[in-house]
Amino acid sequence: MPELGESPLSAGARHLSVDEARAAIAAALVPIEGRVTLPLAQALGRVLADAVVSPIDVPAHDNSAMDGYAFDGRALAAGGDVELRCVGTLLAGAVFAGTVGAGECLRIMTGAVLPAGLDTVVPIELARVHAAADGAGERVQLPAGVITAGENRRRRGEDLSAGKPALRAGRVLRPADLGLVASLGLERVGVRRALRVALFSTGDEIRAPGTPLPPGCIYDSNRTSLGAALQRLGVEVVDLGLVRDDPEALTATLERAVAVADVVLTSGGVSMGDADHVRAVLARLGEVAFWKVAMRPGRPFAFGPLHRRDAKGAPPCWLFALPGNPVAALVSFYAFAREALLQLAGAERTPLPMLQARCTSAIRKRPGRTEFQRAIVEPGGDGAGGWQVRLTGAQGAGILRSMSEANCLVVLHHSQGAVAAGDPVDVWLFDGLV
């Protein structure tokens, strides 16, 4: 853990770039301990504790990839049309008890086990089927070149063989992952325990929705939007409500949070540290550094460990203190807290999903800070193909409506200058973030 309080990242230092701040956070964090075993139905979004190793071959037998007719592919060796006599029908889940000899075939359904000696399946629609002249079943004609030997055969273990890893530890479990585990015959999976995040908002001017709004006050939207963002990450949220700008109230809330959570996430006055009592409280409870990050929206941000009382050797509780403006709070969460929380939860590190799109308008920007612009990415409508992106309008840090209308953030990097209409820009998709 770097000495945040004495490093160039501490209060009063130069403005950090977004990349520097992200790197400093990543270097400080160690994943939490603890694991549980859950039914698959409860494991979506959780972090896999150990690699899942396949106990069986998948598929367990050579089987048909098509509804069609199975036969020995050597019948095709001579070239030209091939005629076969159908000796029966095999459904998926059944085993054929007879034999299929030279010049014969078997009508077979998708997924049915291929009997010994059969290695090729011609789809029904490519075969010509007619009754045999002697009345002894169907005759199946295969026109020359319609199929090659070995086609439409799923080999035993071609998906997974017994003893091979199916999923890596640290993977955040997705719907397809759970289906894969189920296909191995497993009904439970070991996952890391859920990360516990205590959430609260600060400020004497903040009021809870549903209560009267005095003059000069605003409703608290940050706790709702940040709480929803946390739910998307599969963490356990401990909602500590609203906290007054008062040292005793702040101290009591932080001490309660440290006692029950792995992370404290706040928005409002704590992030700026402009009140002496805020710095004093955090200095007593931990080693929090107040950073000025070269970004828009955002800039004020506080991060560091809060110590647990009477818990020697216990890991710290990490504080992420975000700006109070609603858009700045969400953008700072995506830029700094989201990936850090996944790291603490034990998830493997993966870069944020990003694509490039053509910007439909010019954007003024000077190098020296990272800017995040709310925007809508959509298929290009000018005949050029690809994706295009357009801004949602005014980009003020308090305009939450434009964040709601957007489906992405345009990321204008630290060293990047102005953007001309038609230039490619990097885009963070909300579907990957939220």
DSSP 8-state assignment for residue 302: E
Q: What is the pLDDT of residue 385?
A: 73
3-state secondary structure (DSSP) of residue 70: strand
pLDDT at 394: 83
Coil, strand, or helix at residue 271? helix
Strands 206-207 and 218-219 come out as parallel
Report whether pLDDT(276) > 70: no
Q: What letter would DSSP give residue 337?
A: I
Name the most confidently modeled range: 130-134, 278-282, 316-320: 316-320
Q: What is the pLDDT of residue 6?
A: 41
pLDDT (average), residues 215-244: 94
Span 18-25+195-344: which CATH code? 3.40.980.10
Tell me: the pLDDT tens digits for 382-434?
A: 666 789 999 998 888 778 898 999 999 999 999 999 999 999 999 999 987 76
- The pLDDT confidence band at residue 133, using thresholds 50, 70 and 90, is low
Tell me the pLDDT band of 5, cut-offs 50, 70 and 90: very low
Mean pLDDT of 82-90: 93
How much is the pLDDT for 350?
A: 77
How far apart are alpha carbons 273 and 304 in whole angstroms? 13
pLDDT surpassing 60 at residue 254 = yes
Q: Which two tokens stand for residue 272?
A: 């700026």
**Residue 136: which pLDDT band, with cuts at 50, 70 and 90?**
low
For residues 336 and 301, is the Cβ–Cβ distance under 8 A? yes
Q: What is the pLDDT of residue 3?
A: 42
Looking at the predicted structure, is the pLDDT value of residue 237 above 50? Answer: yes
**Better pLDDT: 407 or 275:** 407
Percentage above 70 pLDDT, the chain: 92
Can you tell me the distance from the alpha carbon of 260 to that of 309, in angstroms, rounded to the nearest whole number?
12
Average pLDDT over residues 356-377: 95
Residue 269 is encoded by which pair of tokens? 């006055």
Residues of the chain with CATH 2.40.340.10: 354-433
Q: Which of 259, 249, 252, 251 is nearest to 308 (CA)?
A: 259
**CA–CA separation, 90 vs 109, rounded Å?**
6
What's the mean pLDDT in 325-347?
95
With cut-offs at 50, 70 and 90, classify the pLDDT of residue 153: very high
| Chain region(s) in the chain for CATH 3.40.980.10 | 18-25+195-344
Q: Is the pLDDT of residue 2 over 60?
A: no
Find out whether 50 and 37 touch, Cβ atoms under 8 Å: no
Of the CATH numbers 1.10.3720.10, 3.20.20.100, 2.170.190.11, 2.40.50.150, which one belongs to the domain with range 63-154? 2.170.190.11
- Asked if 369 contacts 295 with a C-beta cutoff of 8 angstroms, the reply is yes
Coil/strand/helix, residue 396:
coil
369/365 Cα distance (integer angstroms): 9
Sign (positive or negative) of CA dihedral 16, 22, 23, 25: positive
pLDDT for 6-62, tens place per residue?
A: 444 444 456 899 999 999 999 999 999 999 999 999 999 999 999 999 999 999 999
The mean pLDDT of 66-82, rounded to a whole number, is 94
> Which H/E stretch holds residue 402?
helix 400-405
Indicate if the pLDDT at residue 126 is higher than 70: yes
Q: Specify the CATH number for 354-433; select among 2.40.37.10, 2.40.100.10, 2.40.340.10, 3.40.720.10.
A: 2.40.340.10
pLDDT at 339 over 70: yes
* Residue 193 in tokens: 């325990």
Phi-psi region of 82 (alpha: psi -120 to 50; beta: other; left: phi over 0): beta
Distance of CA 268 to the CA centre of its chain: 28
d(CA 301, CA 433): 20
Q: What is the CATH architecture of 38-58+159-192?
A: Alpha-Beta Complex (3.90)
pLDDT at 271: 52
| Distance in angstroms (rounded) separating the CA atoms of residues 381 and 384 | 7
State the number of CA atoms in the 13 A half-sphere of 399 facing the CB.
12
Q: Return the higher-pLDDT residue of 266 and 8.
A: 266
**What would the pLDDT profile of 158-213 be if each residue is shown by its tens digit?**
989 999 999 999 999 999 999 999 999 999 999 999 999 999 998 889 999 999 99
CA-wise closest residue to 358 among 426, 422, 428, 429: 422
The ranges of the chain annotated as CATH 3.90.105.10 are 38-58+159-192
pLDDT score of 279 more than 90: no
CA distances from 159 to 56, 155, 176, 351 (A): 11, 8, 14, 27
Query: Which ranges of 239-275 would DSSP assign to H, the alpha helix?
Result: 247-260, 269-272
Q: Where does CATH 2.170.190.11 sit in the chain?
A: 63-154
